[in-house]
Amino acid sequence: MTTATLSAGTAQASPNFSSHKLTFLGAVRGEAIKFRTLATNWIMLAVTLLIMVGMGAMFAVATNQMHESALAAQEAVVVGAAPVAGPTVDDVYNYARGIGDSGMMFGSMLVASIAVVFIGSEYASRQINTTLTAVPRRTTAFVSKLLVVSLWTFFIGFISAALSYGIAQLILDSAITEAVAINGDVVRNWVAVGIYCMLMSWMGLGFGTLLRNNAGGIVLVVVLMFILTIALNMVAGASELIQDFVPYLPMALGQSFTAVGVADDAAITNLEAGLWLSVWCLVPALLGWARLALTDSK
């Protein structure tokens, strides 16, 4: 390893970059290349895609079975038998339209983890010092990261949902596929899955920045998404308050947000679910921003 000689010629040829200013767009481009040049991110995105699409395919098989059950129940009602509890044929069609969100529960955890690692690994490797030396305005640095991770996670969510739907068409019975041709509800479901993934990345980035630690950030996401949901569902019967609160937990809100066929007068509409979910995800993001902006980088 030999260094170049510093000569008078080098001095004369010394460049002058003083006209090159730090810009928000530059900060975003810097974060974008950081995201792109880490193999871990690509692997986690690929795993997210595979899991979401795989879950979609499995759900398509289950949808066929539900369709058969729903048809049998429908015929039973026609011949005067007692109605059987379970989804109706229309419900099944809505499930099929919304099949893009089948793997969302696991997918969202993975995209949140990607976001946690995106910032947490910077603290672990002390890269954060370099980042904040290049972009000393903390809000710019944070928002750039948020924007980059939001775009990637929206993209992976949307693509996964669309691919899940596409592959499901090959598995679903023709009676279902003929009835649920692609329409506005289907595309809205894909977009909602993308937004849900994006919001989860806000939560991940927020917790990662707040705790400055990969494991801690991921655990916090898991606690909020899974543990809290399971725990409160177990004790929901004990309290009406908890019962009323459970639909407002982030995982339940995610399902309500992406669901197809939710009536306008439902207890929680798609839009309301999206707004409440945004609050759940915005709060960690703001806490993370505050820690980054107001405290030393150590």
Determine if 79 is a binding residue for another protein (CB under 8 A).
no
Indicate which single residue of 26, 87, 216, 247 sits in contact with another protein (rule: CB under 8 A): 26
**Of residues 104-163, those binding another protein (CB under 8 A):** 121-122, 125-130, 132-137
Indicate which single residue of 3, 78, 174, 184 sits in contact with another protein (rule: CB under 8 A): 3
Structure token digits, residue 209: 């920045």
Determine if 18 is a binding residue for another protein (CB under 8 A).
yes
Cα–Cα dist 214/71, whole Å: 48
Residue (129 or 239) nearer to another protein, CB: 129
Determine if 15 is a binding residue for another protein (CB under 8 A).
yes
- 8 Å CB contact between 273 and 256: yes
Residue 105, C-beta contacts closer than 8 angstroms, at least 6 positions apart: 251, 254
Determine if 42 is a binding residue for another protein (CB under 8 A).
no
Cα–Cα dist 62/60, whole Å: 5
Residue 230, C-beta contacts closer than 8 angstroms, at least 6 positions apart: none
- 8 Å CB contact between 73 and 139: no
Determine if 1 is a binding residue for another protein (CB under 8 A).
yes
- 8 Å CB contact between 168 and 97: no
Determine if 9 is a binding residue for another protein (CB under 8 A).
no
Choose the binding region for another protein from 28-36, 147-155, 169-177, 196-204 (rule: CB under 8 A). Answer: 28-36
Structure token digits, residue 2: 């030999």
Residue (123 or 190) nearer to another protein, CB: 123
Contact footprint for another protein (CB under 8 A): 1-4, 6, 10-11, 14-18, 20-23, 26-27, 29-31, 33-34, 37-40, 121-122, 125-130, 132-137, 296-298
